[in-house]
Structure 1
Amino acid sequence: MVKLIYDKGTILVHGVRVPNSYWDTRSNAYRALAMYYADIVDFLKCSKMEISDNVLDLIPCPVFSIKTELRDYQEDALNAWLDAGRRGVIVLPTGAGKTILALKAISLISEPTLIVVPTLDLMDQWQTQLSKEFKIKIGLYGGGVHELEPITVATYDTAYLRVEKLGNKFAFVIFDEVHHLPAPGYIHIAEMLAAPYRMGLTATYEREDGLHSELDRLVGGKIFELTVGELAGNHLANFIIEKIVVDLSPKEKEEYEKQYRIYLDYLAQSNISLKSPRDFKKLVFRSGKDPRARKALLARHRARVIALNASSKLKTLREILEKHAGDRMLIFTEYNDLVYMISKNFLIPSITHKTPKNERVENLEKFRKGKYKILVTSKVLDEGIDVPEASVGVILSGTGSRREFIQRLGRILRRKENKSAILYEIITKATSEVATSRRRRSAIED
């Protein structure tokens, strides 16, 4: 008889060697990562071996059920996941109802479920929705709270620290914003969980570092995807994107060119070619040892700040505010300094990562009720947080990330009768912003 035992994020196999295992002399058994639990059981059953399975120690739970009906594309996504063996990543745009789809999956599996999310705000958001749908107490692991329940929501950070204890308590795990999972450290969460059923949710599957290839091993590969363009008009609002190009002032242009020239000269003198994000990371690493590289990167940063915060952008923003007076609008920037400047100059409520939680909740609630028509924010609203319906978005500055662009666009696409959304992208002429814009817009032009 082959005996299986869970041990701190791994499985001890007594009696026979199984795939993905190695001999552990201290335990006098073969050892494998807990993520291979389902594969090990399948292997042993196919080999017609008798098994003593002591791996899962599931939390007792009731039968889960919800009455919410799925849209046709959500049903298609769920069926694709079921057909893939209840494993895999579902890619849907922001606002397309990934959470509802996940709740339906929980009700179908009806087993203890762990949901892993990147932020405390998302943890609270999931708790609220889960409590509403299932009418039970929801466990939380994050922000200093460690409550284990049949359905538990954990942050990636806390799950990473506690995964050895949580690893055999759940049959189903959902990774929200699953593109975070392949990051160093977080990857161990998936490896040390024995849960046989796995679902990943995201609006953007690919990572610039290529590590999304790990998701096939950790969760199951991409098994369903719909783009913003495919859902716009039916399940999401129709939209247009308007790019506005502005000029630097003479003083800004002089300083920008001076700083950027320092950067380019260093690349030329050092015979460095930046053809990929990995090449740039190598340059950053080099700056830790080479003072000239550090000087070049600082000059590049100063040039970028000048381009992103060009004074003419505020003039253009004023024109957009006047044009869309009364419309609900979200303004996105790269840096908090510009958020605070806009908030002060235009008397617009702001939200950044420094905004106290109570104030953030209050601002979003007033925006939802229409007491506030406009919010200005940096990156804190890019991902996951449920933002009330808006029809106008303004990107004053941002990175070249396709993910960031899709998430910001998604914030204004919630469906409403006769709604047409517009996203303004304001970029500075003859600066690195031009290439940045081209990279991020490729997310919807491919």
Structure 2
Amino acid sequence: MSVSDSLRYADLAGEYRSDRGSVVDEFYVPALSVSRSYDRAVGYFTSSVLAVIGAGVDEFVRRGGVMRIIASPYLLPEDVAEIEAGYELRSVLEKAAIRDLERAIEDSRAARGLGKLGNLVAEGRLDFKLAYVTSGNRVGMYHEKIGVFRDDRDLVAFKGSANETLSGLIGNFESIEVFRSWDERGRERALRISRHFDDLWADRTTTLRVIPFTDAAKKIVERSHQMAAELGDSELVDYNGAPVTITSESKVGILTIPAELQVREYQKQAVGRWFAMSGRGILRMATGTGKTLTALSAGAQVAKMLHKTGEPLLTVVVAPYQHLVDQWAKDIEWFGVSPVRAYESTASWFGRASHLLDSLALGTSQGGVVITTNKTFGDTAFQNILSRYSGRLLLIADEAHNLGAKHISSKLPENAEFRLGLSATPERWFDDEGTAALTDYFGDVVFEMGIGEAIKAGALCRYTYTPVIVELDAEETELYVEITEKIARIFAAQQGSERADEDSALGALLRKRSNLLGHARAKLPALRKEIEKRRGDWHQLLYCAEGRHPLSYEAGAPEEPAQIDQALDLVGNQLQMPAARYTAETKRVERRQVLERFANNKLQVVASMRCLDEGVDVPAARTAYLLASSTNPRQFIQRRGRVLRQSPGKSVADIVDFIVVPPEDVAEMRDNTERGMVARELARVTEFAHLAENEAETLDILRPLRIRYGLLDI
């Protein structure tokens, strides 16, 4: 053995830390390139790490090196559930490990890395084993991190914080201690770590189980080896499929404002004000004014700024629903980036997101975007992967008001240097604490553009507004009084400090009262009259109340059909107008088809509940019927905005709003309750009427009500 082939002369230090140099370049590559064997026991091992230590691996393979790897597979929540349900432990662990390898070879860099091991596996010179901690039917992960390099005479053992992943080796701050067998001070530790690994490999470690995995992995490694050969050394592609070179100048993944995009002056002003607040703040912009494009323009400017200094940027977009994630993805692709869409099963996105973080750490990408739903964002898997990232981070929150809820506001990443909240109505309804949590995290509102300004600027179209007054029946009136009195008692007891969260008593009562108003039985006959006036018109939206009438839940009460079912029966069957529903239960493919048919004059009416409230683009809509009479400003502002979007041939929209009031002759309702109910309805009506083309006509319709209840001041 020559001196150049010896660990003893590889100039290895006793400690490596990320702040003092490169663990990869100064330790892994030189040690691997002169070794005859490499043993590694680690929490996580990914084949993509071989793209980093590639030179050392190539030499190691050429020299006929032997490798043994012990690792824990990454278990998804569904894997843990299977184990707890009694599924065979070994089969679940193997399935998880195979999934990791399958996902890895979706990336050409990882396929090359795994392919480098193909000859070793084929010749029996590489073995994988899986380690786990077990107690009953509960499984824990093996997180120890030790390794041993050997040449023909000496060994070098090490232990420390780094996992065998790209982010573990170069993306995070890591440290390892190195013990050399020829150094008297480290000899005992080096030999002890070597014995520990041998005990692990032989499954002799108490509380730990180690099982073979090479046979299960063999087919995947062989397939990777073939793929690597087909790709060749000259072709390296990024996650978007474009050829790249691993240099700090790569622009892969950077958001770029499209040349054909005409950014409006107010959008430029919004971005400028956000930058003036050091990249933090909330944009309060009316629905339809282009919040998405404004946010992506801001993200593009941040990415451009960081690229000049060679710093990558990860952008995370959080949106309420899956269809909004898909909508964002189209705009992000227009800005030149293929985003990772994180929703549904973790297995469908976790690998791509992990590889994106690895590529940012490696430098093959200077940026990347992950879009996720509120639900997935709050889940453990997404939080875990986000916690791995220590670089520059931009968080964009679409409909940011949703993130003020207790269960999710605590999960917003504190390491996000840039924070941008988007909402037409950032204030949370009956939740001052949640509103404060939003501004504490994102910052104050830095730019505002209301509907009135947007109409004047030509960003939204003009509209007419028609309030239709309907009365509660006697049963509904009695229930309304009962609910309102309970709400008043909570406010009195809590002195107004009660939060209206979904799981609070106040929140439940407010929803029940809103649901009662939304389901008022007199609305369906009134709706028929209004739709008959527009029977020949296309592009009509119908907003229905969720669930069923609250009185149908009462003991012994007959079950009433859902309002949306009654409305579709009225429109589709009785009036013979082409109609379809668009709800949370509608599959995503069907949703797209519904919107396409609506835009192409194949559907006259689309009936929805909450699903069209936030963010969905339906610019062709010309008429909106608001059956669900929520007093929450956010809901009626969102619904108005849906129908005000600009569209070719559309100059004026029509909004028909069903206003619920108590019957004139009812005696059971107390004066204050009755007056308060009408006042809440009139507040919304006044807001709508103020900017309508027919404001004077609308106020005339409501004047008798104002006089009856002494509400002329509203």
Using the size of structure 1 for normalisation, the TM-score is 0.75
1:75 aligns with 2:268: yes
Query: 1:386 aligned to 609, 617, 621, which one?
Result: 617
Q: Secondary structure at the match of 1:421?
A: strand
Shift of residue 117, structure 1, vs aligned partner: 1.3
Shift of residue 112, structure 1, vs aligned partner: 2.4
Shift of residue 304, structure 1, vs aligned partner: 6.5
Distance 1:389 1:433, change over 3 A: farther
Shift of residue 335, structure 1, vs aligned partner: 2.1
Shift of residue 426, structure 1, vs aligned partner: 0.7
Q: Which has the higher contact order (CA 8 A, sep 6+)?
A: 1
Q: Secondary structure at the match of 1:335?
A: coil
Of the structure 1 ranges 122-131 and 143-152, higher mean CA displacement relative to structure 2 is found in: 143-152
Shift of residue 410, structure 1, vs aligned partner: 0.2
Q: Secondary structure at the match of 1:189?
A: coil
State how far apart, in whole Å, the 2-side matches of 1:272 and 1:199 are: 33
Which deviations, in whole Å up to 9, do the C-alpha atoms of 1:355-407 show, x marking residues without a partner?
22222221111112121121111111101222242121111123211000110
Shift of residue 305, structure 1, vs aligned partner: 5.5
1:434 aligns with 2:635: no
State how far apart, in whole Å, the 1-side matches of 2:397 and 2:487 are: 40
Structure 1 counterpart of 2:438, one-letter code: L
1:219 aligns with 2:427: no
Structure 2 counterpart of 1:163, one-letter code: Q
How many percent of aligned residue pairs carry the same amino acid? 26
Partner of 1:25: none
Structure 2 counterpart of 1:102, one-letter code: A
Query: 2:402 aligned to 159, 180, 205, which one?
Result: 180
State how far apart, in whole Å, the 2-side matches of 1:226 and 1:392 are: 23
Q: How does 1:117-266 map to 2 (within 5 A)?
A: 117-134=319-336, 136-144=337-345, 145-146=348-349, 147-148=352-353, 149=356, 150-161=368-379, 162-167=382-387, 168=389, 170-190=392-412, 192-208=413-429, 209-210=431-432, 211-233=434-456, 234-248=458-472, 253-263=473-483
State how far apart, in whole Å, the 2-side matches of 1:276 and 1:379 are: 31
Using the size of structure 2 for normalisation, the TM-score is 0.48
Q: Secondary structure at the match of 2:522?
A: helix
Shift of residue 354, structure 1, vs aligned partner: 1.9
1:338 aligns with 2:558: no
1:364 aligns with 2:595: yes
Which 5+ residue runs of structure 2 have no aligned equivalent?
1-18, 20-170, 175-247, 304-312, 357-367, 548-561, 573-578, 663-673, 691-713
State how far apart, in whole Å, the 1-side matches of 2:607 and 2:498 are: 33
Which deviations, in whole Å up to 9, do the C-alpha atoms of 1:266-315 show, x marking residues without a partner?
789x7974998755959x9679xxxxxx9xx69x94x8666533443223
Shift of residue 89, structure 1, vs aligned partner: 0.7
Structure 2 counterpart of 1:361, one-letter code: R
Distance 1:304 1:183, change over 3 A: closer
Which 5+ residue runs of structure 1 have no aligned equivalent?
4-52, 288-293
Of the structure 1 ranges 212-221 and 426-435, higher mean CA displacement relative to structure 2 is found in: 426-435
Partner of 1:7: none
Aligned length: 379
Q: Secondary structure at the match of 2:266?
A: helix
Distance 1:199 1:327, change over 3 A: same
Contact 1:245–1:426 (CA under 8 A) maintained in structure 2: yes
State how far apart, in whole Å, the 1-side matches of 2:585 and 2:486 are: 36
Q: Secondary structure at the match of 1:349?
A: strand
Shift of residue 262, structure 1, vs aligned partner: 4.5
Q: Which is higher, the Rg of structure 1 or of structure 2?
A: 2
Shift of residue 260, structure 1, vs aligned partner: 3.9
Distance 1:264 1:366, change over 3 A: closer
Partner of 2:299: 106
State how far apart, in whole Å, the 1-side matches of 2:683 and 2:494 are: 13
State how far apart, in whole Å, the 2-side matches of 1:60 and 1:434 are: 58
Structure 2 counterpart of 1:360, one-letter code: R
Q: Secondary structure at the match of 2:335?
A: helix
Which deviations, in whole Å up to 9, do the C-alpha atoms of 1:44-66 show, x marking residues without a partner?
xxxxxxxxx9679x998444322
